[in-house]
């Protein structure tokens, strides 16, 4: 036992030295980034980062797993830039301009819980250049006894906060009354998975949005085929609004019998949709996975496969969230995703 304790003391000393070196590296990195910013140079140097990782893999080949080297280095490189990454945004300009910037990121809580909660989350998103704020005011739930959202009051609150931060509201309408009475409070109308087959409602949305061509984000039903999904979009388009965004959010398969995930992520459907339509394609890793630990890597995979954008649930305190806290990522993880987008796109 004495021998183990002595070895543990050695490990503690090594851990402290690692932290000291991380702090030292961060200080030097900050100085480099400050110089780059003064000279109007890009903070991100993908080639340089790849050179660092490759060099260390080669140098320590046979001594340590190269995959571990890459994983650790990417975390260190992420930490070194953590004070400086911001998703590029178009501070001025309209919604169309934001949606034309690829890939675009829609983020926010599953449910609008309170003014304080939403303002805190929107403020964080704004600081990172995100202009598209998602949030549920009307929550269609399986159980009628579950929290159904703050409804009209919540949506009006969201619109006010979005305007405060120069953001656009992305929210779901679930019936005709909301569509008629609250139309002005949504900048992008979301049609949830449950309503993808509500053809009469889709026609109404198409007619209502035909004049101003307000974007409609249509989510794929968890039990629909690709063809059924595209035909649902046609109901909106044929009613007069071609500005439809297709959203993949996972499908239900036999995997759900014993899967860790809420749904089966329909990532390959991005490729198939590309063969059939020119409509924008968004992927929702939060609902596709149902677990925050899978959200960021799945989101990155969706972008690699050609998704035009992402819609992600984020919460400042997921463990206290009223709904879907398990699949909501914390601000730190959202920033990691933003960093990935900045480096690769």
Q: Are the C-beta atoms of residues 155 and 182 closer than 8 Å to each other?
A: yes
The CB-based long-range contact list for 222-229 (8 Å cut-off, 24+ gap) reads 222/193, 222/249, 222/250, 222/251, 222/252, 222/263, 223/251, 223/252, 224/196, 224/197, 224/251, 226/269, 226/272, 226/273, 226/276, 228/196, 228/197, 229/196
Closest CA to 312 of 341, 332, 282: 282
For residues 135 and 171, is the Cβ–Cβ distance under 8 A? Answer: yes
How many Å apart are CA 269 and CA 125, to the nearest integer? 29
CA distance 342 to 345: 6
Overall average pLDDT of the 32-36 stretch: 84
Residue 37 has pLDDT above 60, yes or no: yes
For the segment 92-112, the average pLDDT, to the nearest whole number, is 87
Mean pLDDT check: name the lowest of 20-24, 88-92, 256-260.
88-92
pLDDT score, position 177: 96
Predicted confidence at residue 290, as pLDDT, reads 95
Average pLDDT over residues 19-34: 88
Q: Return the DSSP state at 24.
A: H
Flag whether pLDDT at 85 surpasses 60: no
pLDDT at position 107 over 50: yes
Task: Over range 319-333, report the average pLDDT.
Answer: 88
Residue-averaged pLDDT of the chain? 89
Nearest partner of 288 among 190, 196, 219, 216, judged by Cα: 219
User: 218, 151, 209: which is closest to 184 by C-alpha?
Assistant: 209
Residue 36 has what pLDDT?
Answer: 79
pLDDT of residue 84: 55
pLDDT category at 88 given cuts 50, 70, 90 is very low
Per-residue pLDDT, averaged over 261-269, amounts to 96
% the chain with pLDDT above 70: 94
Packing angle, helices 331-344 and 292-304, rounded to 10 = 10
Q: 320: pLDDT confidence band, cut at 50, 70 and 90?
A: confident
Position 90 scores a pLDDT of: 39
* pTM for this predicted structure: 0.79
CA 46 to chain centre: 22
């Amino acid at each position: 036992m004495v021998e183990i304790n002595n070895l543990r003391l050695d490990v503690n000393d090594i851990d402290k030295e690692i932290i000291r070196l991380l702090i030292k590296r961060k200080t030097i990195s900050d100085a480099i980034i400050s110089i780059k910013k003064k000279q109007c140079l890009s903070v991100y140097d993908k080639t340089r980062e790849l050179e660092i990782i490759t060099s260390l893999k080669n140098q320590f080949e046979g001594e340590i797993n190269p995959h571990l080297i890459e994983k650790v280095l990417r975390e260190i490189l992420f930490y070194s830039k953590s004070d400086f990454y911001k998703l590029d945004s178009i501070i001025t300009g309209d919604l169309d301009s934001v949606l034309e910037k690829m890939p675009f990121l829609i983020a926010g809580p599953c449910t609008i819980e309170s003014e304080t909660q939403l303002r805190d989350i929107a403020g964080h998103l704004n600081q990172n250049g995100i202009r598209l704020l998602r949030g549920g005011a009307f929550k269609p739930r399986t159980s009628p006894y579950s929290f159904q959202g703050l409804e009209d009051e919540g949506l009006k609150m969201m619109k006010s906060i979005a305007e405060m931060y120069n953001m656009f509201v992305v929210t779901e309408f679930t019936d005709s009354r909301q569509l008629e009475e609250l139309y002005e409070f949504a900048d992008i109308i979301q049609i949830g998975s449950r309503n993808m087959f509500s053809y009469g409602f889709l026609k109404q949305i198409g007619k209502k949005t035909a004049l101003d061509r307000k974007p409609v984000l249509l989510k794929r039903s968890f039990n629909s085929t690709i063809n059924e999904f595209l035909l649902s979009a046609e109901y909106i388009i044929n009613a007069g609004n071609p500005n439809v965004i297709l959203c993949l959010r996972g499908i239900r398969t036999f995997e759900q019998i014993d899967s860790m995930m809420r749904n089966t992520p329909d990532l390959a459907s991005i490729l198939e949709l590309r063969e059939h339509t020119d409509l924008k394609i968004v992927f929702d890793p939060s609902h596709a996975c149902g677990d925050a630990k899978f959200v960021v890597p799945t989101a990155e995979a969706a972008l690699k496969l050609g998704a035009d954008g992402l819609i992600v649930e984020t919460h400042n305190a997921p463990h206290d969230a009223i709904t879907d806290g398990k699949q909501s990522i914390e601000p730190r993880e959202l920033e990691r995703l933003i960093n990935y987008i900045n480096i690769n796109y």
